[in-house]
Structure 1
Amino acid sequence: MKIRLERDVLAEAVQWAARSLPTRPSVPILAGLLLKADASGVTMSSFDYETSAKVSVKATVSDEGEVLVSGRLLADISRSLPAKPVDITADDSKMELVCGSARFTLQTLPVADYPTLPHMPEATGAVPSDRFAQAVSQVVVAAGRDELLPVFTGIRIEIDGDTISLLATDRYRMALKELNWNPASTQVEAQALVPARVLSETAKSMTAGEQVTLSLANSSAGDGIIGFEGDGVGGVRQTTTRLLDGEFPKVRHIMNTQAAMNVRVNTAEMIAAARRVALVAERNTSLRMLIGDGAVTLEAATGDQAQASEAIEATIEQVDGGAQAVTAAGFNPSYLLDALGAFDTPYVNFAFTAPSKPCQLTGLAELDGEPLADYRHVIMLMRLPG
């Protein structure tokens, strides 16, 4: 194999393809990055039996071929190269990389021992890349991080015609984002539970192009994988990942609970106040929201050592026929800040149902406008003493 490509193209492609390489691979061969050169350019691939990544970039190819080398080492080298064209030659035993006066020789790994990458399933539909990245970022904050409960570490993708929904929960909070997309068939219906970390990294890395194509394997085929394709800096990127097993909890009904009281606040003011007051919140204790007349007050304390409170203006609306009025609510400070940070609207509405019951947050384009239903975030309230 003999190729030449620009340093920035090489560095970007290697970094992206190598990002999912396992830190401690179950077998040494999985630490490799596969480079394959043909008439169309160079393809770089990685695979750990769960997630695959493949990026295709333009290059001047003198001799076609393929080579397998340490992915992390090649990533470190490509980052350090001077801003000059890079020449790569390889045979069965070594790969040589020359950039200006810098020269590296890497031992190759046996290509024959490398696992075959899964095939990309047939395209299910496409969604604008920027909207998809934003949607995933809004939902991923509610996904669990405990690997002992894998079903909560995923984001459930639900496809119903021209609507795609993303749903996540860690049992103490949940987030739902709905958006329109372009399905391959208007009759398509499908569900998939995708690892949240993989989905988040993939969505963020494919914003250079106009759209991301989702490819969901037919569940009856037993493949259990989902694929994503989009443009990145310098080339086309593809990722596949195995779907998570297990049944996602039925939590959608919680999103439709009728509110007894609505509290509307300025999003930026609430974030700033919550951050300040949370500085003195003791671990595993709540940030309290006291609901008054035309204002809410946030309070937190660490025993007798430190206390903090701050009031901000709010619009309070008691819903006719609502249950018992909510005068105080306890939030996990981190959950509250994660939720508020996911909104891109100037105002946010807190919909309370009853003391110690879940609270739903929705965005508001205007303080007196209708809540925007495309993104909803629910937080389980903490029980307040007394």
Structure 2
Amino acid sequence: MLRKDIRGQSPHPGVRGHRGGRWPRGSTPGRGAYLRRQSTTVRLGCAAKCAHHVPRVDGGSQVQVRQGSRNMDADGMGTDGTGVDSGQLALKMDRAEFADVVAWTARTLPRTGTVTSGIVVDATDGTVSLSSTDLEVSGEAVAENAVIEAAGRVMVSGRLLSDIARSLPDAPVRILADASRATISCGRARFSIPVLPESDHPHLPSQPRALGRARGDLFAAAVAQTYVATARNDSYNYMNGIKLELGADQLTFAATDRYRLAVREIGWTSESFSDEVPEVIVPGRSLSDVAKALAGDPLVQVGLDGGGGIEHRLLGLQGENRSFTTRLIDGKFPAFRSLFPPQFESTVRIDVAELSDAIKRVSLLAKSARNMAVQLTIAEGEVTLSVGGPEEGAEESVEGQLLGSANAIAFNPQFLLDGLHSLGRSQVVISFNQPSTPVVLSGADPDGEPDSEYRYLLMPIRIS
């Protein structure tokens, strides 16, 4: 299907003023109370830069930033040593850990404000976890070093919590919450935000059955190397995703947008005792985002629901104290292995950095040139890149070691750059036959031979 679709085609792809901070008439500060200044609400865009203005953010949720506390210590603790009222959730954790678990959970928030746009903070079973879902994907993170002072569970605006977590100073974080409001304290900063009703919030799906484990860095690299070849919002849903094959001792990743095909294989430890090799298509954007965050984990556990005659519907990933699930894409991925030519007449080995820089320079004129392509004229000891013609064009040469026959092949410059940047090697081996047939980019191993772990197939452009 890939070859049929792409051969010969060009791949174009109102403010009120505030009053001074004084106690309301007839009132005095109570023990452990916050200093409540008289202030007014200001919508975003107010020119006044005043700490007493209250910005309205995230679909109307109101955030109150409070300064000072006569009876609070530096950690937000009351002078009685607890600062916890009856019925409150109360917990404390390191700022870096707080930022990390919030950032992980915020990855699965919906992009528009809905009932699923909250983050649930759960401290009811001896651990502190944060979770969110947009019905397609879900994420959960455990703050293993958090200290629970009073058990509880609340849901707050995910976007607000994410913004707050990114802006906190370097000090311990304390969260207090009751049925109506949650207060986040860090150093001298205090944020008060509404608690959202959790009754309509969907439950997170259970983690699918584990099928095996792979190194976090290898898993992240394989996703990045194949995600580059996915389509963006294509009508064929499978082209927006990455195909994942879970073999006995090998994970295979593959993606295509009709004009190119990227395939990466990595080793893994399988925990499945079935002869079945599950094959699923995972949404590329979600998988790419999560895989980057898991790159630093020693191992990533991969799981699927269903199996044994039951259609797979859910992929699960688990790292250290973090988990993720996503629904799968329906569709039939092309038989991609047959798209690679069985053999090549010629290969040329080139330095990746030199070739990439030359492509960037000559392609400055590709947008205005007639064919919008960069042509590689491959000869013994030299590869010449050219765009356009005598009246308007550019040309540059780089060194190259040719084995086989000379040739001239044209490519979409951005697609060629994508492949080079994905190799992760200092040298590239370009294998080719005729100017109209697919070429394959591979990294060069220490002996200068093509590395078969990652292959990037690219269709050339026909030029007159």
User: Do the structures match in fold with TM over 0.5?
Assistant: yes
Q: Which AA in structure 2 matches 1:299?
A: S
CA distance in 2, matches of 1:67, 1:362: 51
Offset of 1:256 from its aligned partner?
4.0
Offset of 1:100 from its aligned partner?
2.4
Residue by residue over 1:83-128, the C-alpha shift from the partner in whole angstroms, topping out at 9 and shown as x without a partner, is 1111111122111222222221111111121101111011110001
Secondary structure at 1:350 match in 2: strand
Report the equivalent of 2:164: 77
Q: 1:65 aligns with which of 141, 152, 157?
A: 152
Secondary structure at 1:73 match in 2: helix
Q: 1:175 aligns with which of 249, 259, 262?
A: 262
- 8 Å CA contact 1:343–1:363 kept in 2: the answer is yes
- 8 Å CA contact 2:262–2:456 kept in 1: the answer is yes
Q: Does 1:372 find its partner at 2:451?
A: yes
CA distance in 1, matches of 2:238, 2:126: 40
Report the equivalent of 1:52: 138
- 1:340-379 matches, within 5 Å, as 340-366=420-446, 369-379=448-458
Report the equivalent of 1:384: 463
CA distance in 1, matches of 2:452, 2:241: 22
CA distance in 1, matches of 2:236, 2:311: 23
CA distance in 2, matches of 1:40, 1:278: 58
Q: Does 1:339 find its partner at 2:424?
A: no
CA distance in 2, matches of 1:42, 1:255: 49
CA distance in 2, matches of 1:353, 1:92: 69
Report the equivalent of 2:216: 129
Ranges in structure 1 where 5+ consecutive residues have no aligned partner? 319-324
Secondary structure at 2:461 match in 1: coil
CA distance in 2, matches of 1:169, 1:100: 49
- 8 Å CA contact 1:257–1:353 kept in 2: the answer is no
CA distance in 1, matches of 2:314, 2:125: 29
Q: How many residues align?
A: 371
- 8 Å CA contact 1:121–1:215 kept in 2: the answer is yes
Q: Does 1:12 find its partner at 2:92?
A: no
Residue by residue over 1:178-213, the C-alpha shift from the partner in whole angstroms, topping out at 9 and shown as x without a partner, is 111100035451111001111111111012321111
Query: Which is helix-richer, 1 or 2?
Result: 1
Secondary structure at 1:124 match in 2: strand
CA distance in 1, matches of 2:194, 2:389: 57
Report the equivalent of 2:317: 228
Secondary structure at 2:355 match in 1: helix
Query: Which is strand-richer, 1 or 2?
Result: 1
Q: Does 1:201 find its partner at 2:256?
A: no
CA distance in 1, matches of 2:264, 2:452: 9
Report the equivalent of 1:322: none
CA distance in 1, matches of 2:279, 2:90: 44
Report the equivalent of 1:321: none
Residue by residue over 1:116-150, the C-alpha shift from the partner in whole angstroms, topping out at 9 and shown as x without a partner, is 11110111100011111111111111111124332
- 1:237-386 matches, within 5 Å, as 237-282=322-367, 285-301=372-388, 304=391, 306-318=392-404, 327-366=407-446, 369-385=448-464
- 8 Å CA contact 1:282–1:301 kept in 2: the answer is no
- 8 Å CA contact 1:358–1:379 kept in 2: the answer is yes
Secondary structure at 1:373 match in 2: coil
- 8 Å CA contact 2:175–2:182 kept in 1: the answer is yes
- 8 Å CA contact 1:37–1:65 kept in 2: the answer is yes
Q: Does 1:104 find its partner at 2:191?
A: yes
Q: Which AA in structure 2 matches 1:337?
A: L
Q: Which AA in structure 2 matches 1:356?
A: S
- 8 Å CA contact 1:39–1:61 kept in 2: the answer is no
- 8 Å CA contact 2:429–2:449 kept in 1: the answer is no
Offset of 1:218 from its aligned partner?
2.1
Secondary structure at 1:314 match in 2: strand
CA distance in 1, matches of 2:406, 2:138: 49
Q: 2:206 aligns with which of 114, 119, 125?
A: 119
Offset of 1:222 from its aligned partner?
4.0
CA distance in 2, matches of 1:153, 1:84: 42
CA distance in 2, matches of 1:225, 1:144: 21
Residue by residue over 1:288-346, the C-alpha shift from the partner in whole angstroms, topping out at 9 and shown as x without a partner, is 00122221100113883x4211111112222xxxxxx6621110000000000011222
Q: TM-score scaled by structure 1?
A: 0.92
CA separation of 1:112 and 1:86: change in aligned 2, threshold 3 A: same
Offset of 1:41 from its aligned partner?
2.4
Offset of 1:60 from its aligned partner?
0.7
Offset of 1:257 from its aligned partner?
3.1
CA distance in 2, matches of 1:147, 1:41: 42
Q: Which AA in structure 1 matches 2:118?
A: G
